[in-house]
Amino acid sequence: QVQLVESGGGLVQAGGSLRLSCAASGFTFTYYAWAWFRQAPGKEREFVATINRSGRSTSYSDSVKERFTISRDNDKKTVYLQMNSLEPEDTAVYYCAAKRTILTAGHYSLEDDYDYWGQGTQVTVSS
């Protein structure tokens, strides 16, 4: 049974930090590239960050570049999103997503690219 379970969301003041985790089970973690997306109230879901299968390459949206870091731990089958210098505009439900790929170096930033999704975790940044 495929499961992606996010955790680590919460309420934080502007300028603070949070680390989101996404624990995977039910499939071969290392066969997948991973990403984080987010959806703010009244807005469409948007791409945040992605990491390739090897973990050696990442890509970010312009809005989070230099503030957020995506990483993966293949032994723990977990993907992380370290979020620093948080802003009220970062308030959203954050989703992790996994894409099966044979390309170790591929980056994928479109929702339709992804095969599995987590249930989401709420991040609220107060001003």
Question: Residue 21 pairs with which residues in a beta bridge?
Answer: 7, 80
* Residues 56-111 pLDDT 10s: 999 999 999 999 999 999 999 999 999 999 999 999 999 999 999 988 777 899 99
Distance, CA of 22 to CA of 6 (rounded, Å): 4
- Give the closest residue to 46 by CA, choosing from 33, 34, 60: 60
Q: What is the pLDDT of residues 55-70, one digit of tens each?
A: 999 999 999 999 999 9
The answer to whether residues 124 and 10 touch, using CB atoms and an 8 Å cutoff, is yes
